[in-house]
Structure 1
Amino acid sequence: MTWADQLAVLAAGLGAGILTSTVGVASLLSFPVLVAVGLPPVVANTSNTVGMTPAGLSGSFGYRRELAEHPGVTAAVLVTAAGGGIVGSLLLLWLPGSVFEAVVPWLILGTCVLVGVQPRLSRFLRQHAADDEPRVRISGLTTVFATLTGVYGGYFGAGSGVMMMAVLGLGTDLEFRTVNALKTFAVMASNVVATVIFLAIADLDWLAVGLLAGGSVVGGYVGAHIGRRLPATVLRSLIVVVGIGAAALMLVR
């Protein structure tokens, strides 16, 4: 890579780190940059996952107050995202890259719609629920969808944060800022287990990994402070707009 390429990867890491802790579509920024500077797609994907792991770690640290509010939910998210991430990372190494390409943009679009309508849909579900108590635990169905989101996160990850927000937003009655923190924590958990696997058996570009990691660790922490301060309506709108834009870009590629 040239100096200009290295600077672009470092900047992509910083920007993607901020996105990790806010709108949750980080890989749609960092992955194309790695491909643009000449990395093969699979190497770019594995290197991107390893390089973006520090963003999830620093972002989760930035959200530590929110994560401590519901330790049971936090633990459940850790287990589902990590377990799914193991399966997804192995699928990345075993399956052709075209398997999910056709459906990923539609998955992101669908979850963006769910994030947008989640307040009204949640109110409807509460009004028709037999139990009026707020849902502060993860149900069996929510666990299944959270695990599937973890699988996708380990496989490719672009938009997995948006998907996790939709799953947790519909499956619980937690505050939006807490759901955002849990989304960041889920991305971190999925990336950590995928990183362990990729370090053992995958091809990586270590220069790209180092540059992404350096930028993303700062961006993840900064993004947590931004995400905490943004009003829920503003953050939700940003997630929907950015997610739809990212899906549209993937459809026209």
Structure 2
Amino acid sequence: MPEGHQHRRDRLHESRLPEVDVEEPQTGRSGPHDLSPRSRGDKVLELALLSLAAFVAGGLNAVAGGGTLITFPALIAAGYAPKIANVTNTVAIWPGTVGGSLAYRTEILERRHRAISLLPASVLGAAAGAALLLLTPPGQFAKVVPWLIYFACVLLAFQGRLGRIAASRGMHASADEAVPPVLHISIFFVAVYGGYFGAGIGILMLAFLGIVAPDTLHHSNALKGLLALVINLVALLAFAVFSTVAWGPALVMAVASTAGGYVGVRVARRINPTLLRVLIVGYGLTVATVLLVRS
């Protein structure tokens, strides 16, 4: 090989070395050189646990929301850096919202006017949230996540009373009325949060829908699932183009979350609405407390 070519090749090799040193601490992965039987077994176990977390999360997202609070910590525990885990989680959870929406297709068609009218706010908010994540460290916003979920749980717990107050002030929207402007604004900010981090987005959305546009819990769940699908799709596309995704775990978890979303809706249909609301609030309070303690 000519000396000039060898020199350029050595320089190229040296310029790539720092990338290895930076990337491994971020992801916590062992690297392609570790091919021992034990490492392969650990990888299979890791994917199995991530799949289980995604299945449960898909069911929770279809019923109450908050599945991110299971899959995101699972990815962190698997050794992925927070930002990569957040982006990968968005990709992994999205198919689960598809499964939930398919199971709720009857309720969605019955509220199609409301769903269509809220799509622009969902798309714009999700795009803004995804851009915010790409431009700022996620840890800054993650500190307020527990308090947002606490707030959402309070709203959901007092949904009936607050809905009556909203109705007396002209904010009420029945199933066949136009969507009030305050709901567009609320969904926009929920979508910003969903595009940025997304933990508890379903709880927040259910709370706002119940207060501003009271409906049956199953119809609200259906609308929440459809809007979450759109919000996560916008964020997914942004992350796939402009960020780093751990595609292997993401695809495996995507299959599991899809199955979980479909099963979750079918289980929800057999639960009393009051009991379902109590379970949602209890779950939200639990995950908020866990996040607050860990922060």
Counterpart position of 1:233? 274
Q: CA 1:214–1:133 in structure 2 vs 1: closer, same or farther (change >3 Å)?
A: closer
Counterpart position of 2:217? 176
Counterpart position of 2:8? none
Q: What is the DSSP-based 3-state SS (H/G/I as helix, E as strand, rest coil) of the residue aligned with 1:100?
A: helix
Question: Which among 246, 260, 272 is matched to residue 219 of structure 1?
Answer: 260
> Unaligned stretches of 5+ in structure 1?
none
Matched, 1:45 2:86: yes
Corresponding letter in the other structure for 2:283? V
Task: Map 1:51-70; keep pairs closer than 5 Å.
Answer: 51-70=92-111
Note the aligned Cα RMSD (angstroms).
1.6
Matched, 1:25 2:86: no
Counterpart position of 2:48? 7
Task: Map 1:1-253; keep pairs closer than 5 Å.
Answer: 2-126=43-167, 128-129=168-169, 134=174, 136-253=177-294
> Unaligned stretches of 5+ in structure 2?
1-41
Corresponding letter in the other structure for 2:204? M
Q: CA 1:204–1:231 in structure 2 vs 1: closer, same or farther (change >3 Å)?
A: same
Measure how far apart 1:130 and its partner are: 5.5
Measure how far apart 1:226 and its partner are: 1.9
| Structure with max Cα Rg | 2
Q: What is the DSSP-based 3-state SS (H/G/I as helix, E as strand, rest coil) of the residue aligned with 1:157?
A: coil
- 8 A contact 1:137–1:172 mirrored in 2: no
Percentage of pairs with the same residue: 35
How far, CA to CA, are the matches of 2:194 and 2:52 in structure 1?
22
Deviates more, 1:46-55 or 1:115-124: 115-124
Q: Kindly report structure 1 stretches of 4+ aligned residues shifted beyond 6 Å.
A: none
1:95-133: per-residue Cα shift (whole Å, max 9, x none)? 11222122111110001010010012212333x246988
How far, CA to CA, are the matches of 1:104 and 1:131 in structure 2?
27
How far, CA to CA, are the matches of 1:130 and 1:78 in structure 2?
23
Q: How many pairs are equivalent?
A: 252
- 8 A contact 2:97–2:229 mirrored in 1: yes
- 8 A contact 2:68–2:199 mirrored in 1: yes
Measure how far apart 1:228 and its partner are: 2.7
